[in-house]
Structure 1
């Protein structure tokens, strides 16, 4: 990175932090600190909701996911627009009517304290871990850039997020997310344009998409009913719907965003805006990853995108073996380039040559074999080394191929997203701890200022917890999947509790509490035996189905338990 990149990166991040602190200093009561006195306009609600979900993981991992597995991941979001409509029509009016600071307050009004505490606890566990992952993601970037220790970077990034969240609360998150979303989308559009510009002159966008399609990267929709396939249309429209319904409807990181809206209508319009824009945004980010794949069909590609692994090999006895593999990959890259140019020439003559398509697939298979051999060598040097490099693909492209200045901007994009998402998470964790656990169980009357200070203390506490988890976090298959798997384990049960509260009026506190507890334990077992125990890609159940199973189990069990309890009373 050149000096100009560092200047752009530093100015962008410092402006966002200090602008948020300046605009939001001096909150005197809980409603102002947590809900911004319910003054947020609809368009800012929509941007805030989008920015909260669009963490660094989105812009770091999603392009790498598309590079390796294609566009199929977009099916994960198919249930989102439907979920936005349901939340706008059902959830928001109820939340505003009962005037809550957190989603879990409603559960005590509808059921009892123990149900409220259970849902709050499940949220705190899941989101507390996820907050650590969102801090860990940008640390990967700076570690690759600077060669600094990951633990040190986790601490530095965590402290910067804690700083402006501690000072300004929800309002600080809201006012800075405008700038963050502008930086994020501007940077991504410029990057997409430059990728297309750097492709061979004779290539059109149509040619690029054909090359991606020839390598199975453009399989957008899978209508199969195979529950073992991770992403299908049906898992997205059902499991994805339940996940989005739970995330946006019951997760305080999102509920806190739209509870700050000026009115029901402003909150609803903000969510509908998110529903309209989110799927196209994710499609665009995935397509950017696919275009990076096409770019590397004509340019040198490393055996492993994680530069730390290359450094590891350099100081080992396997250096020569690795160099031989690199030589083979370089020769293969030249062959791929030659056949891809030939394929383009045929496409420009309106002839999609099936023989060439098969040859491209054959060469892709050979490249995969070389990469697998490289991973084996890396693991021989260090069995604990992370050889999965999906999260490093986009970063490698940014650092090696983008012009000076834009590198700094793109890194600011990813770090801005990390700050935005982490700040929302810390605010939500602190508000849930302060309102649902601390304030609810406090026996003495305290001032508003006391609870503002208590919430700030919990922001600091959860920030430290997130930093600690980030320090022990290791790459799963890919960070964006890790976050979604973690959410799927917990969200179904919590969503089931809320759906029963909203829709099944005869179910009472005792029935829903024990049903939710049994449902959550069942999900742990299902995840362990059908997903966790099996190698990636060979799971017996796609993780998105956990959301549907958890919610359904909670609803069915609570209805049955309440029926039995009613029978006993009679």
Structure 2
């Protein structure tokens, strides 16, 4: 990067952190540290909720996912608006009325302590692991820019976020997220405009979409009902609905965001606006990936987007094989570029026969490129068994650092950093609040002072930060990061959601029944996921329905057993 880019990057990051610390000064008790004294307006709630979900993973992995496989991932969010409506009707009023710090406090009032502890424990596992992945995402950027191992950059990023989260708590998180999302929206719009400007003179925005469409990258909706297809209309509407309802309704990293609302109305409005804005936002992020894909049909892309891993291979004993594969790649790309030019001409003349011929030729060339890239990754694994062989997360980053103008590179990289810092800070804050309120304050020290609880909250923030950094060091093994986070969540969110649905709507079911139902459901979900019985989004539906049905059956069995005992 140029000196200008480094200045823009460092200035933006420092300004955001100092602003959050300044706005959160004077935090003196646990309510201020964990809930921001419940004083924030709806737009703060909306942007904070959105920023917590839209981590660096969104801006690194989503364009790469669209580049590799198209727009289908947008279906993942189709259940979000309905989930927001149900949250506003059923969840938000209860949490505000009871004045809880965490979502799991309610479960003890409704069931018992062990049910509260179980759901809090499941949350801590899921959020702790997922947060490690969000820390890893921006470390990829620094490692690419500085050409150093991700281990060092992961430690730096994790330490930076821990520092300002420990100091300011949830208020620092919310205020920084407000500014972060404003910069993020502006930067993404600029990036999209510049991609189009880099196309050849004969290719504009519409033509770029046409070309990508002929190569299978613009199909956003799949109406088929296939249990094993990750992204369809039905998996998004049904499986996505259950996942989003559980994520926003029971995950403390999100519940903590809208509990900061000044009133029930402010929290509701913030959630509803998030439901309206999120799908278009995600569509546009994926669209940028499609535009980058079209750009690389006219401009030769790297044979492998992770420069660090490619450099290792270039210096290894496999360098001759790599050179041969690079020659093959160049020949295939030259052929592919000719076919794209012919396709562009055919689109000008609206000649469907030639368009179909070129589409088939391009798809064949795509397969050949995938074969060559597959051989590259095999060489990488032979050279280093721990090599990171999935480069989806580097595609958009490579484009930004190679083709964006000076100054804008620094801004776009700052955006990805900001997104990661916002979501990671929210997660650390939620992990600390759940550890203190649901574990420490309830089970270990029930009579502590406000000052002590505040100190312990900060201590838990540091502890969870270190745990998440440890997970981040393993994250390179998980492939596409945005899918990894959602797959991990799908193993646990359905079970937690089932517990909350029983709590809200099935008043006759007690704590004993729902506790054992949750344990059985989680075991079954993990087995289904391990053996890949269905696509991962359906795990949320299975987990939720299992808890509800098993809890009902266990309660019925307990009642009959009690009746028999009484009559006997």
TM over 0.5: yes
Shift of 1:71: 0.4
CA, structure 1 residues 318+444, in 2 after alignment: closer, same or farther (shift >3 Å)? closer
Q: Matched residues in 1 for 2:297 and 2:429: separation?
A: 44
Shift of 1:26: 2.5
Q: Which runs of 5 or more residues in structure 2 are unaligned?
A: 564-568
Deviations 1:466-508 (A, max 9, x none): 1122123323220111100110001000000000000101001
Q: Matched residues in 1 for 2:301 and 2:145: separation?
A: 18
Is it true that 1:567 corresponds to 2:567 in the alignment? no
Shift of 1:331: 2.5
Q: How does 1:111-510 map to 2 (within 5 A)?
A: 111-352=111-352, 353-442=355-444, 444-510=446-512
Q: Is the 8 A contact 1:298 1:333 kept in 2?
A: no
1:525 is aligned to 527
1:514 is aligned to 516
2:549 is aligned to 556
Q: Which runs of 5 or more residues in structure 1 are unaligned?
A: 531-539
Shift of 1:334: 2.3
Q: Matched residues in 1 for 2:170 and 2:386: separation?
A: 40
Q: Is the 8 A contact 1:20 1:175 kept in 2?
A: yes
Shift of 1:443: 5.0
Q: Is the 8 A contact 1:87 1:249 kept in 2?
A: yes
Range with bigger deviation, 506-515 or 145-154 = 145-154
2:2 is aligned to 2
Q: Is the 8 A contact 1:302 1:326 kept in 2?
A: no
Cα root mean square deviation, aligned: 1.2
Shift of 1:348: 2.0
Q: Matched residues in 1 for 2:362 and 2:277: separation?
A: 34
Range with bigger deviation, 457-466 or 364-373 = 364-373
Q: Matched residues in 2 for 1:294 and 1:148: separation?
A: 30
SS of residue in 1 equivalent to 2:509: coil
Is it true that 1:541 corresponds to 2:543 in the alignment? no
Give the number of aligned pairs: 561
SS of residue in 1 equivalent to 2:89: helix
Shift of 1:98: 1.4
**Runs ≥4 residues deviating over 3 A:** none
Range with bigger deviation, 542-551 or 309-318 = 309-318
Range with bigger deviation, 502-511 or 180-189 = 180-189
Deviations 1:523-549 (A, max 9, x none): 11111122xxxxxxxxx4100011000
- TM-score, normalised relative to structure 1: 0.97
SS of residue in 2 equivalent to 1:103: coil
- TM-score, normalised relative to structure 2: 0.97
Q: Matched residues in 1 for 2:330 and 2:493: separation?
A: 46
